[in-house]
A and B are shown apart, each in its own frame.
Chain A
Amino acid sequence: MNRFTILAASAAFTLANPVATALAHGSEDHNHDHEHSESAAETAATVAMPDANAKVQAGDLTLGAAYTRATLPNAPVAGGFLTVTNDGTTDDRLIAAASPVAGVMEIHEMAMDGDVMTMRKLEDGLPIPAGETVMLEPGGYHLMFMRLAGPLVEGESVDVTLTFEKAGDVTVPLSVQAFNARAAGDDDHQADPHAGH
């Protein structure tokens, strides 16, 4: 939880002071209604959206473009996405993830073989080779929020603590984008009102 440095000024929020985040996206008409989130855990973690392009430094690793997606009604799981750049000379490995909004988090890989899609847990974690950038994105590697405490609401943000073999623990805020977003800051998609039926 400790060794991270916040690079982007707009992401300068603290858990203790969610009001400070209001400066992040003043132009957007996001709904800041927090009435739905009454559990203590969620209130602590759900803060208004930070800059989606904020970067977080952890040792040799730079984490960026971190986002998740608004959940459909009833959805028990959600995916988390970000990029991890290793500027160091030694390989690292993402071995665990945790979030106050999820009872369990796993690191998954989605793979397509023709029309066939499979999703599997990466039991040994995700290697972050020296000098490379690993993308966790829809259709590939991703974080999996499981046993969600409540819905993820577009425009808010959830904290995820990633554990790297060498760089240790680092907490990144994931902005909650539209349920069908394909990238951080991608909020052009129209939500399908029938999708949950």
Chain B
Amino acid sequence: MSDATMDATSRPRAAASDLYRAVWRWHFYAGLLVLPFLITLSLTGAAYLFRDEIDAIVHADIKRVAVQEGETLRPEQLVASALTSVPGRAVKYTDPPAADLSAEVTVASDSGQRMAVYVNPYEGNVLGARPDRSTVMWTVRYLHSLRYFGPVARGIIEIVGGWTILLVGTGIFLWWPRGQQGGVVSVRGQPRRRIFWRDTHAVPGIFVGSFIVFLAITGLPWSQVWGGKVNEWANGSNFGYPSGVRVDVPMSGQKLTDQAQTSWSLEQAQIPETTPPAPEATPIGLDAAVARLEGLGLHPGYAVVLPSSPTGVYSGSVYPDDLSQQRVVHLDQYDGKPLVDMSYADYGPGGRWLEFGINTHMGQQFGLANQILLLAVCAGTILLAVSAALMWWKRRPSRSLGVPPMPQDPRVFRGLLAILIVGGILFPLTGASLLVMLALDMGLRRLRKPSLA
């Protein structure tokens, strides 16, 4: 508390300093909870920004192919090749997103495992196979959301998202200039002094903070409880398609997201059914389905889920960096007619904004600039976490946690509490964790009171 923040005029000082202490206390708690996760989120997020590049390097042996002149082989040939190496049932075919990348055939293998088989599109030789979604970047993605560690851990990351918003809000309050010399946009002191670390925390924080809030907000739609509920509420009608999309065809009840990765807004989208066929009807085949989908203008890199029953459909979908190219088309497996055809333009305004936010969160919206900016935000976040830890270390009293002091007049909490209550209702998991923290804080105070008085 030796900061220059306290040497303003003395009149409203008591109340102001009380509020400052209250906010500081909660900033401390929020930081304590969130700090380790912000580091893992930053590290995994930074890597995931460059997923295509990293996957292509780490898995070069199965992902990269030499570009050859002339036509690539037909999809049915590539699927046959994959099934030769990995016997089973072909589930999905993914078109090579670029000329120097392999095609991916997803196989429900006879051994019971779902495998991704990578095939050279020019020669048809299998380059390799691995369990579906087991590439380095899929693992990083699951580490980012903590899905890797199961549903409880995923709940934790949702709480972290909410607390992060609180952290930035309280941080901005603490940063707010109060007439001090420096520490607003400049860093004071030397690394051995605490004030150096306070400024190294506060100054970058004010620049990085808004981006962190953006990432927390755009990350929350993926969360388990809040994201799941909001998704059901926002996308639950019209068989999960935006309201403008024609869906007057029989639906299978199966969801798109069970078979292939989809966008947030289409997580509820159902796969339609082909009308029960005449006995002699034969499917048009993958080659014809792909020709049809390409004719409809699907962006390269599309995935086609193959029909798995007589009433199944060919489901083509693609979610490229360019949002406007998002597309989902279901084809009747016997006559190749599109049953449902949905593109980005069909989303409502809310859906479009949300997908824009998610696309930016994933570093796809603005190309390399997007990736580099968010990489800087990740680096900045780690700097904030490190400087926070160091400044606490330099300040903390010996043999104690060093929680910032309670305000003299607890009424200053009221405004803060109001914000927390509203936030806690909007984000139930965060709210619940706030209540737990509040109870702990009060309990702690009771215990301490005799010695403080």
Q: Which of B89, B113, B124 has the most CB of A within 10 A?
A: B124
Asked if B79 is at the interface (CB within 8 A of a chain A CB), the reply is yes
Query: How many Å lie between the Cα of A76 and that of B74 in the bound state?
Result: 10
Are the C-beta atoms of B83 and A196 separated by less than 8 Å?
yes
A133 to chain B, nearest CB (A): 25
When C-beta atoms are compared, the residue in chain A nearest to B61 turns out to be A118
Nearest A residue to B86 by beta-carbon distance?
Answer: A117
> What's the Cα separation between A146 and B88 when bound, in Å?
22
- B residues 68-116 with Cβ under 8 Å of A? 73-74, 76-81, 83-90, 113
B126 touches A119 (CB 8 A): yes
Proximity string of chain A (97-116) to chain B, C-beta cutoff 8 Å, 1 when within and 0 when not? 00000001010100000011
Which among A71, A117, A146, A196 has the highest number of chain B CB atoms within 10 Å? Answer: A117
A78 at interface, CB cutoff 8 A: yes
A192 within 8 A of B: yes
Interface-side segment among B127-135, B158-166, B182-190: B127-135
Q: Check: A134 CB closer than 8 A to any chain B CB.
A: no
Q: Interface on chain B toward A: helix, strand, loop, or mixed SS?
A: mixed
Q: B124: which A residues are within 8 A, CB to CB?
A: 75-77, 146
- Kindly report which residue of chain A lies nearest to residue B90, judged by CB atoms: A197
CA distance A76 to B25 in the complex (A): 67
Q: Indicate if B123 sits at the interface (CB-CB under 8 A).
A: yes
Residues of chain A contacted by B306 (CB below 8 angstroms)? 197
> Please, what's the 1-or-0 string for A181-197, where 1 marks a CB less than 8 Å from any CB in chain B?
00000000000101111
Nearest A-chain residue to B75, judged by Cβ: A74
CA distance A78 to B123 in the complex (A): 11
User: Considering only CB atoms and an 8 Å cut-off, how many residues of chain A contact the other chain?
Assistant: 29
Chain A CB count within 10 A is highest, among B84, B129, B283, B306, for B84
Q: B79: which A residues are within 8 A, CB to CB?
A: 74
Q: How far is the CB of B336 from chain A (nearest CB, A)?
A: 16
- Interface status of A34 (Cβ within 8 A of chain B): no
Task: Quote the shortest CB–CB distance from B333 to chain A (angstroms).
Answer: 11
A78 to B131, CA, bound (A): 23
Please tell me if the beta carbons of A116 and B73 are within 8 angstroms of each other in the complex: no
Given contacts A75-B84, A76-B80, A77-B125, contact A118 B134 (CB under 8 A): no
| Distance between B32 CB and nearest chain A CB, rounded to angstroms | 38
Q: Does B62 contact A (CB under 8 A)?
A: yes
Q: A77 touching B123 by the CB < 8 A rule?
A: yes
Question: Do the beta carbons of B123 and A104 come within 8 Å of each other?
Answer: yes
Question: A116-B129, A146-B123, A147-B123 are contacts. A195–B87 as well, Cβ < 8 Å?
Answer: yes
Question: CB distance B89 to A74 under 8 Å?
Answer: no
Q: Is the CB of A116 within 8 A of B84?
A: no
How far is B81's CA from A147's CA once the two chains are assembled, in angstroms?
12
Given contact pairs A75-B77, A76-B77, A115-B130, A195 touches B83 in the complex (Cβ within 8 A): yes
Check A180 for interface membership: any CB of B closer than 8 A.
yes
Q: A115-B131, A118-B61, A146-B125 are in contact. Are A74 and B85 (CB under 8 A)?
A: no
Chain A residues whose CB sits within 8 angstroms of the CB of B130 once the complex forms: 115-117
Cβ-closest chain A residue relative to B88: A195
- Taking the closest CB of chain A, its distance from the CB of B314, in whole angstroms, is 12
Can you list 9 A-B contacts (CB < 8 A)?
A73-B76, A74-B80, A77-B84, A78-B84, A115-B130, A116-B129, A118-B62, A119-B85, A197-B90
Per CB-CB distance, the 8 closest pairs between chain A and chain B, nearest first, are A76-B124, A118-B128, A75-B80, A74-B80, A116-B130, A117-B129, A72-B80, A74-B76
Other contacts beyond A75-B124, A120-B127: 12, CB < 8 A: A71-B84, A74-B79, A74-B80, A75-B77, A75-B80, A75-B84, A76-B80, A77-B124, A115-B113, A119-B126, A146-B124, A192-B87
